[in-house]
Each structure stands twice: as C-alpha cells, then as structure tokens.
C-alpha cells in the first residue's frame, strides 16, 4: 500500500521516494514526479522488458498492466501508480516456466526483431481475459494498439488463437 | 519532459479548491493527453492534481431514461456498458473506433472532451502556432495541412478537433456537467467546443479549476438506429479524415428523425444542422442524402492539401444515412 504520506502533500518537482509494487515485489525508487512508469521500470528498476518505441502512446511497445488493465507505460506517471499493482513481461513466467502466451509466441514464430514482443504479449494475455479474441477481425481490432514494424501480425494472431483454443494443452486463463 | 509536481486528491471539493487556487495547476486523469503535452513541451510545467481516485466514474441510468456518464469513466468502460451499446450505439462505436485498447483503458470521458489538437505545428514547440502561442501565426496555413479542417476554420487556426466521442455526444445533444467553487452548471455539448475565430487558444467555455463531473446523454428513441462511420488512413488506431455520427428513423420512406454530426473535417465536433434541416420530412433516398450532404459542405474552406475532404465528408454522410436506412427497414 501507499507509504504514510498525506494524500494532498505536493511532491516534486525534485526527486521524491516512490513506492511501487511490480510483479508482486515492492520497490522504492527516488525519482522526479515527471518520470514515466516506462522510464522508471527501465532505468530505475532494471526491468527492461517493456520497450520504448515512440514515447507518445502511438506504438504499444511499452504495454504493461496497472491493476490488471493493459495501459501504455510511456504516458503513465510512475508516481501515479503508488498503491496499484503493476505487472510487466518479467512477471509472466511462473517458477521459471514461461506463460502459455510466451510459449505460443515462440512456437508460432510470432516475432522477428522482438522489439514489440513484450508489449504484444502483455496485450495478448489481457485480450483473452477481456474476451476480445473471438475472431481474427476482433483480434486485429483489439490488438491494433501494438504496432509491429516487422509485420509479424499473422503469426501473432496464430499464437493468440493457439492459447485461446488451448492448442497443445496450454492454459486459457489469462491474467491470473 | 517538463518538470511537474504532483498531488493526489480523493474528494471533488478538494480537487476543485486545489486547482482553482493555483494558476499553474491542472487535473491529471488518464494522462494520455496531459503527459504527451508536457513531454513534447506543448504545455508549460504544471502542478498536476491526480483526480483518478475521485468517485465520478459511474455510468447510471436516470429516471427519465437519460444516461449519466461520470467524468472519470474510461472510454472502454463506457463503450462496453450494456446501456450505451443498447441505446446509444453511435457513442459506443465512436469510443471503440478511437485510439487503442490500452489508451481507452486509461482515457477518461472528461479528458477526452479536453484533449488537444493533433496539428503537427501545435505539437512542435519550435513552430509558429496561434493556439500554443497566440499571435505567432499559423504554421498549418500554407504548410502541411492534409489532416486539417475545412469547416469552422478561421484565418488564425484550421486545426481539426480530434475527438470521436465528442462528435457522437454533439449529435445526441449531450450535456457536459461542470462543477466549480461556486456550484454546478451544465453546458450543451455543442456549446462546449468553441470555434477558433480570433482566439484559437480558447477551446472551451471553462474557467481554470472547473471540473467535468459528468456527461449526460438525454433519451432519444432514434439513437437505437445509429452508427459512427470513421474514414481514415488505416483501419484502426488512427484519427479520422472524415467521420459521421448519425441516428435515423425512417417512417413510410420519409425521414422522421435524424441526428448528424461530423468529425475529422471541422475545428469542433460539427453538428450538421443544415443537412438535418433538409433531411427531416424528406424522402429517405440517395438523392436527398446527397443534397443534404452538399448543403452541409457548401461553406467548406479547403486548403491545398485537404480539398479531398469536402468530397470525402459528403460520401461519408451519404454512406452513413444509406446504411441506417437499410438497417431501419429491416428492424
Ligand atoms: C496515440 C493516440 C491516439 C489517439 N486516438 C484517438 C482517437 O482516434 N479518437 C479520439 O477521440 N481520441 C484519441 N486519442 C486521444 C485520447 O482519447 C485522449 O488523450 C483522452 O481521451 C484524454 O483523456 P485522459 O483521461 O487521458 O485525459 P488527461 O490527459 O488526463 O487530461 C487531458 C486534459 O483534460 C483535463 N482534464 C482531465 N479530466 C478533466 C475533468 N474531469 N475536468 C476538467 N478537465 C479535465 C486535464 O487537465 C488535461 O488538460 C488518442 C490519443 C493518443 C495518445
Ligand atoms: S492550425 Fe491551429 S493548432 Fe495548427 S498551427 Fe495553426 S494555429 Fe496552431
Ligand atoms: S513507447 Fe509507449 S506507446 Fe510507444
Ligand atoms: S517483431 Fe520486430 S517490431 Fe514486431
């Protein structure tokens, strides 16, 4: 939960202590309030899975979950996430075993350079939980916030269908 | 990114008092406009007051059948609310055809009404722009203006209003509910968005510290047969080149009720009153639709790069009306 700070206290513009819950672990970072969740993860927590493609909400490479909802971390302030649960690609594997969606991306070759992949996977798992993977058209529309410059789209859709349909016995439950 | 300071508030009165007391402060909702603006230096440093904990995110049906949408309700949640899908498909579609799934999870309805224009000169802190820096001129006039407006422009600004949801809300005669220290008032959606005129920096009739608490959509039977048609450079995750929010009732081959508003082509969400006037009581035929569309675009002032929008907007209107006529005939 949030540190013992008065809710209305003004923080910044200089560095302040921010307490964040990321993938179930508590981190304390000293950052300026202007620091985005993306920069905080990458530069202050060494969690470099989420990628910076555009830094203006236009590509989805930085997709993470805040309270289990997929968001773009580049337009989210880290300090605004105090008291919320953040999940990143680093939190998807359990006990060293990849999430079914990660496995499906590997087996279906759903990437080339891999830069968009962490964002694609965070979006794809949320997509199934939201129930927006009914058809290829629906998958396309609800995954449009994740751009892939390598255009691995057909394979990404196949990976999502695999997990949706339980191909290879993978679990369907999503955001666990 | 500009430096910012930050505080959280948990009740509406404190939020309003905090922002009203400090001219450098601003509300922070989803941040999908605000953080972008601060990062690209399009807005000055601010004290951000995080309103995400305020209890104004509900979607409620009123006794008279109106739907009241909290200012902090998120685009996706509003779009998927059964009452909105059922009674106001045009609003649900306008929301779902905007931005991306991630952005719609973050973005609030209040923030959507307050989003800034996508004009590339406005977004470039080095460029001339009357909206960002009044009196410096307009980089888009005589510049790259393919995405810009053809309706409601002035010699000072031709930026297109970017919101899709606002187009649907203007068509539906929605009311924007605003609270400040003095109390509460409501503004008709059509009056909430100002034409650029001589003051393109002034986009809304709000005073500093005014908080959008809710958006109320009045009941409208015709809205059950409604749609949002968005034409753009790519199929998804793109702003409109032209769009139409439309509701239609046809009785015995005649237009009984019609609502029409345009996006992507005007400096504000554009209620197509000239077209509506011609349509009401007229035969629901392609000829009528084409005449109404032409009348609405008669006053268009195109730029060298966006002249195609005059034709595109008319085709969009006609297609929306034809689609709804066919649908209405079936149901
Ligand atoms: C890549 C991208 C693509 C997009 N595509 C589309 C699109 O296709 N269609 C579309 O319609 N939109 C689109 N948007 C815009 C998006 O919908 C808006 O950024 C969003 O709705 C703003 O809401 P927010 O809650 O994030 O606002 P914030 O960024 O938090 O705030 C925006 C402004 O509103 C003020 N504000 C916020 N809440 C209130 C309130 N309750 N009362 C008074 N003032 C308030 C803030 O102070 C700020 O000035 C896109 C945005 C991005 C980044
Ligand atoms: S069109 Fe408006 S926003 Fe764009 S440069 Fe001109 S004045 Fe600025
Ligand atoms: S880096 Fe966040 S959307 Fe591109
Ligand atoms: S795999 Fe290269 S950008 Fe998607």
Q: Do residue A74 and residue A132 come from a single domain?
A: no
Share of chain B above pLDDT 90, in %: 99
pLDDT tens-digit readout, B36-53: 999 999 999 999 999 999
Mean pLDDT of the region B73-100: 98
CATH classification of the domain holding A68: 3.10.20.30
Burial class, B283, CB count within 10 angstroms (exposed 0-12 / middle 13-18 / buried 19+)? middle
Helix (H, G, I), strand (E, B) or coil at B54: coil
Min Cα–Cα distance to chain A from B108, Å: 13
In which element (H, E) is residue B103 found? helix B101-106
Q: Considering the domain boundaries, does residue A108 fall inside one?
A: yes
Q: Do residue A164 and residue A113 come from a single domain?
A: yes
Residue span of the structural domain in which A109 resides: 100-169
Single out the residue in A88, A108, A127 at which a domain terminates.
Answer: A88
pLDDT tens-digit readout, B191-235: 999 999 999 999 999 999 999 999 999 999 999 999 999 999 999
pLDDT tens-digit readout, B297-308: 999 999 999 999
**Number of helices (H), then strands (E), in chain A:** 5, 5
Neighbours of B224 (CB within 10 A): 15
- Chain B residues whose C-beta is within 8 A of a chain A C-beta are 1-10, 14, 18, 28, 30-32, 35-36, 38-40, 45, 47-48, 50, 52, 99-103, 105-106, 235-237
Q: Considering the domain boundaries, does residue A67 fall inside one?
A: yes
CB A47 within 8 A of CB A133: no
Q: Do residue A60 and residue A113 come from a single domain?
A: no
CB A29 within 8 A of CB A17: yes
Q: What's the rounded Cα separation, in Å, for the pair B60 and B72? A: 13
Share of chain B above pLDDT 70, in %: 99
Single out the residue in A36, A53, A88 at which a domain terminates.
Answer: A88
Q: Considering the domain boundaries, does residue A33 fall inside one?
A: yes
Q: Do residue A32 and residue A75 come from a single domain?
A: yes
Q: What's the rounded Cα separation, in Å, for the pair A169 and A158? A: 15
Q: Considering the domain boundaries, does residue A10 fall inside one?
A: no
Q: In what order do the strands lie in the sheet with A16-22?
A: A25-31, A16-22, A85-87, A63-66, A69-72
Q: Do residue A34 and residue A82 come from a single domain?
A: yes
Q: What's the rounded Cα separation, in Å, for the pair B150 and B192? A: 20
Ligand 1 center–CA B286 separation, angstroms: 37
pLDDT tens-digit readout, B111-154: 999 999 999 999 999 999 999 999 999 999 999 999 999 999 99
Q: Which of B291, B255, B247, B287 is nearest to B271 (CA)?
A: B247
CATH classification of the domain holding A132: 1.10.150.120
Q: Do residue A109 and residue A73 come from a single domain?
A: no
Q: Is B264 in the pocket of ligand 1 (CB under 6 A)?
A: no
Q: Do residue A135 and residue A156 come from a single domain?
A: yes
Q: Considering the domain boundaries, does residue A5 fall inside one?
A: no
Strand partners for B258:
B248
Residue from B37, B129, B306 whose mutation best tests the ligand 2 pocket (most atoms within 8 A of CB) = B129
Q: Do residue A81 and residue A108 come from a single domain?
A: no
Q: Has this prediction a pTM greater than 0.90? A: yes
Q: Do residue A80 and residue A105 come from a single domain?
A: no
Q: Considering the domain boundaries, does residue A165 fall inside one?
A: yes
Of the partner residues B8, B47, B237, the one whose CB lies closest to the CB of residue A145? B237
Q: What is the pLDDT of residue A170?
A: 52
Q: Considering the domain boundaries, does residue A174 fall inside one?
A: no
Look at chain A and report how many structural domains it folds into: 2
pLDDT tens-digit readout, B250-309: 999 999 999 999 999 999 999 999 999 999 999 999 999 999 999 999 999 999 999 999
| Low-confidence spans in chain A with pLDDT less than 70 | 1-7, 168-176
**Number of helices (H), then strands (E), in chain B:** 12, 12
Q: Do residue A81 and residue A104 come from a single domain?
A: no
Average model confidence (pLDDT) across chain B: 97
Instruction: Report CB contact under 8 Å: A60, B3.
Output: no
Q: What is the pLDDT of residue A167?
A: 81
Q: What is the pLDDT of residue B283?
A: 98
Residue from B90, B99, B122 whose mutation best tests the ligand 1 pocket (most atoms within 8 A of CB) = B99
Q: Which domains does chain B have, with CATH numbers?
A: 5-50 (3.30.43), 222-327 (3.30.390.50)
Predicted-complex ipTM score: 0.95
pLDDT at B19 over 90: yes
Single out the residue in A53, A88, A123 at which a domain terminates.
Answer: A88
Q: Considering the domain boundaries, does residue A155 fall inside one?
A: yes
Residue B306 structure tokens: 């966006």
Q: Do residue A69 and residue A131 come from a single domain?
A: no
- In chain B, residues with a C-beta closer than 8 Å to the C-beta of A36 are 1, 35
Name, in order, each residue with C-beta under 8 angstroms of B291's C-beta and a sequence gap of 6 or more. B278
pLDDT at B330 over 80: no
């Amino acid at each position: 939960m949030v540190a013992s700070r008065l809710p209305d206290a003004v923080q910044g513009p200089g560095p302040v202590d921010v307490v964040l819950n990321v993938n179930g672990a508590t981190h304390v970072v000293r950052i300026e309030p202007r620091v985005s969740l993306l920069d905080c993860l990458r530069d202050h927590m060494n969690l470099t899975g989420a990628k910076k493609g555009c830094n203006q909400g236009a590509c989805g490479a930085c997709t993470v979950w805040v309270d289990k909802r997929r968001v773009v971390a580049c337009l989210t302030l880290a300090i605004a996430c105090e008291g919320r649960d953040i999940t990143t690609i680093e939190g998807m594997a359990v006990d060293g075993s990849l999430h079914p969606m990660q496995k499906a991306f590997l087996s279906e070759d759903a990437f080339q350079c891999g830069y968009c992949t962490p964002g694609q996977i965070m979006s794809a798992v949320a997509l199934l939980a939201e129930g927006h993977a009914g058809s290829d058209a629906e998958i396309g529309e609800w995954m449009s916030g994740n751009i892939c410059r390598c255009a691995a789209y057909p394979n990404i859709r196949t990976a999502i269908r695999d997990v949706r349909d339980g191909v290879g016995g993978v679990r369907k439950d999503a955001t666990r | 990114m500009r430096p910012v300071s930050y505080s959280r508030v948990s009740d509406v009165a404190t939020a309003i008092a905090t922002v009203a007391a400090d001219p450098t402060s601003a509300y922070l909702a989803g941040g999908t406009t605000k953080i972008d603006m601060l990062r690209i230096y399009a807005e000055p440093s601010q004290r951000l007051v995080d309103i995400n904990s305020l209890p104004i995110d509900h979607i409620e049906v009123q006794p008279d059948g109106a739907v009241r949408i909290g200012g902090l309700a998120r685009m996706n949640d509003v779009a998927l609310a059964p009452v909105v899908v059922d009674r106001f498909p045009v609003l649900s579609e306008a929301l779902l055809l905007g931005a991306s799934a991630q952005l719609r999870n973050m973005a609030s309805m209040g923030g959507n009404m307050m989003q800034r224009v996508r004009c590339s000169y406005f977004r470039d802190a080095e460029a001339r722009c009357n909206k960002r820096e009044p009196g410096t001129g307009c980089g888009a006039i005589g510049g790259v203006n393919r995405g810009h407006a053809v309706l409601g422009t002035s010699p000072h600004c031709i930026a297109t209003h970017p919101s899709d949801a606002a187009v649907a809300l203007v068509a539906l005669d929605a009311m924007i509910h605003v609270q400040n220290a003095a109390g509460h008032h409501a503004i008709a959606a059509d009056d909430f968005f100002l034409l650029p005129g001589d003051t393109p920096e002034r986009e809304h009739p709000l005073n500093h510290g005014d908080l959008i608490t809710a958006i109320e959509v009045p009941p409208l039977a015709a809205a059950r047969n409604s749609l949002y048609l968005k034409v753009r450079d790519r199929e998804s995750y793109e702003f409109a080149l032209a769009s139409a929010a439309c509701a239609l009732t046809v009785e015995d081959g005649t237009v009984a009720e019609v609502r029409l508003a345009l996006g992507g082509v005007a400096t504000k969400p554009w209620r197509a009153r000239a077209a509506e006037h011609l349509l009401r009581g007229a035969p629901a035929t392609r000829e009528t639709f084409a005449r109404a569309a032409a009348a609405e675009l008669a006053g268009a002032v195109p730029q060298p790069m966006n002249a195609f929008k005059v034709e595109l907007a008319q085709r969009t209107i006609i297609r929306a009306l034809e689609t709804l006529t066919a649908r209405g005939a079936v149901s």
